[in-house]
Chain A
Amino acid sequence: MDFSLTEEQVMLKDSVAKFLADNYAPEQREAVIKNEAGFSAEHWATFSELGWLTIPFSEALGGFGGNVADVSAVMEEFGKVLVVEPYWSSIVLAGQLMARCTNDELKSRSMPQVISGEAQYSFAWLEPQSRFSLSHLSATAIKQGDSYCLNGEKKLVLNAKASHFIIAARTSGDVASESGISLFVVDAANPALKKESVRLMDGQLACNIQFTDLLISQDDMLTAEGEAYPLIAEVVDEALVALCAEAVGAMTYLYKATAEYANTRKQFGVAIGSFQALQHRMVDMFMATEQCRSLLVRAQCAILDNSAERSQDVAVLKAMVGKYGRKVAEEAVQMHGGMGVTNEMPIGHYLKRLMMIDMYFGGSDTHRRRFSDMRYL
């Protein structure tokens, strides 16, 4: 048993925190969100220079050889200031799908651009009817000679400026089946792809895509036909841990900022932090954050130990982070009073981000059900 960060992780966290302290004040972030891409290309280039994009990839692929704990250390710092650059979608989620796929030729062709940051991949999986089930897919891919013909639509694909999409489509099986799912990488500029950008409440720019008779070479399929589900499930589990690390970072910011505000804001001639009714609510915010942090440690250990309960531990983490992330943010808004409901104050932006994190890959109830179904047989 060992929960401490390695020396390298501590240094990494410090260097991320230092960069963000200089470059990610609320007004700087506001300017970044407003530009056309929804993030800063300059920051992205810096992430690349500092080596952060290489972290979760193996040395064989030209990466740093890090693991879920390294990525989570970075993501937690990102969460404290609400970084909007597509690190999670491109490096942690889509990048890992590519890095762990079984098509070696495709992998060696794609990974250098992903790791350098020249290309940004995004995972297109969610469909209007799927209710966040990873295997509920009605998009189809039908073999035609050496190619596949894709038809369907995907919702809320992160990073509208992604250069490539990894599309999940059904090559066989019924609509909810875990077998018969395949993954294809496609250039975002492909004319058979229709893209509509949408602005999300947390400031991110996502897109909905539609594809009609989109032809993709079989060389651009990530696994053997119909066998992508285990890869998706494994990568999504790990990516959710990193996403929850971001949420824990955001929750940490919120309870600290709220306590600080309560110690300075005066009403009735005293700091409102002296009121026990508020103190106890802030303690519950802290407690909720510590419970989530404990589950974050638990899930990281489950992944690194390759535990049989890893999916259970991830589901519990996502369920609790979803529930308590929102709770902590709602309390933070309340205790900031009128200022809490202004867009000028950062607090509300954390609420919006935590609501989106809850929603990604299914909300708190979805993951509680997922846990129950694994646990209560």
Chain B
Amino acid sequence: MHAKFSPEELAFQEEVRGFMRDNFTADLAARIHHPNTFSKASVEWQKLLDGKGWAANGWPVEHGGTGWSATQKYIYTTELAAAGAPDVVPMGIKMVAPVLYSFGSDEQKARFLPKTKSSDIWWCQGYSEPGAGSDLAALQTRAVRDGDDYIIDGTKIWTTFAQYADWIFCLVRTDNTGKPQQGISFLLIDMKTPGITVSPIISVDDEHHLNEVNFENVRVPVANRIGEENQGWTYAKALLTYERTALSGVGYCKRILTNIRGLASQVSASGSRLIDDSDFRARLADVEMEVMALEFLELRVLSDLDSGGAPGMESSLLKLKGTELQQAVQSLQWDVAAGFGGVLPDADNALWESDGNRARREYMFGRACTIFGGSNEVQRNIIAKFALGL
């Protein structure tokens, strides 16, 4: 039982720190955190990581992964967050790629994995529909076989970054006769295919992350189907566990807590510091202690994966607690940073970079994290069933 780093691990930590220092420059950071420059800067960042061989660090080595141990993954994530650098946009590398290398054909792997890794394909996820949110299996987007193609009709919603996407991975209904889970297939669809319309949905942070994607008579080659027809639910479930494991956000929480401690340690005009206030200390400590626990919960899960386990119910646990804590730190950050806040700046206004504006954006954006990836209520249902046998 120990958590100490070996000399090799310490050297690796130095290497990651050095890479972040040299590559995640202040200029890149500013562009990646600004909505007008976000997409280009994200691609640039992923290409830098890919150049170092780190972009797809969780993949199997034969597909370009790193073969890192749990400790290395932890060091990498921690240093990334400490540098304020975002992880890669997850839909490609973390969400569709595991399905591709686990269930895809050799042609599909060769066609999609390298470009996904290098960020030459931007993926978006076509799961939710207006009538199928938490009840994902109720999805109705139809795929009707026509020779070597499927004809797709229907609507996907809450599609993050569809406005930038080259491809979408979609769950579609290929059969209506059995249980809802049984007639679903997993398709990869080129976003340039005629009949696809993307409409923006502006969210409560006043920004454009989300979209509705409409499919009208969209022709998709059967060759773009992953695995068997009507078996898509199995593949999708596997993907969801990977998605949720990626959602704990411990590194993010630690970075925001560092920011909060810094802001609260500033001496106010009246000569006092918020961090000396006993009510505030108690609130901050409550959140910080939970994050310290979550950090080791994640390490325990990672270390299990290292010894050959697959992510299962634990990923729901990490998603659930992780997103609750992300919201808790965002809430605290808003309370500390808002000042006379709530002022909505223009995107090119000097106020945009203020602590208050950052706190507002993160708080508002963060409202979604307990909803996406399967709402936290659904996670509780899953845990009740699989961990407690209820």
Contacts and interface: CB of A to CB of B under 8 A. Distances in A.
A305 interface: yes
Interface residues of B, number: 41
B321 A263 contact: no
Interface string A291-312: 1101101101110110100000
A372 B275 CA distance: 10
A298 B292 contact: yes
Query: Which of under 10, 10 to 19, 20 to 34, or 35 or more describes the interface residues of A?
Result: 35 or more
Nearest to B390: A273
B2 interface: yes
Contact of A305 (B4, B71, B286, B320): B4
Given A283-B384, A283-B388, A294 B296 contact: yes
A277 to B, nearest CB: 11
B285 A372 contact: yes
B344 interface: no
Interface string A347-377: 0000000000000000000001101100110
The 6 closest A-B pairs by CB, nearest first: A301-B3, A294-B296, A279-B384, A291-B293, A294-B297, A259-B388
Interface string B289-319: 1101111110110010001000000000100
Contacts of B294: 291, 294
Contact of B388 (A1, A255, A291): A255
Q: Which residue among B282, B293, B297, B377 has the maximum number of chain A CB atoms within 10 Å of its CB?
A: B293
A2 B2 contact: yes
A274 B70 contact: no
A95 B315 CA distance: 41
A213 to B, nearest CB: 42
A353 to B, nearest CB: 22
Interface of A: 1-5, 69, 255, 259, 262-263, 273-274, 276, 279-280, 282-284, 286-287, 290-292, 294-295, 297-298, 300-302, 304-305, 307, 313, 316, 319-320, 368-369, 371-372, 375-376
A159 B377 CA distance: 46
Contacts, number: 126
Contacts of B1: 2-5, 69, 297, 300-301, 304
A274 B3 contact: no
A135 B380 CA distance: 44
A332 B128 CA distance: 36
Contacts of B300: 3, 294, 297
B317 A290 contact: yes
B288 interface: yes
Given A297-B1, A300-B1, A320-B293, A4 B281 contact: no
Given A295-B293, A316-B289, A1 B384 contact: no
B176 interface: no
A259 B384 CA distance: 9
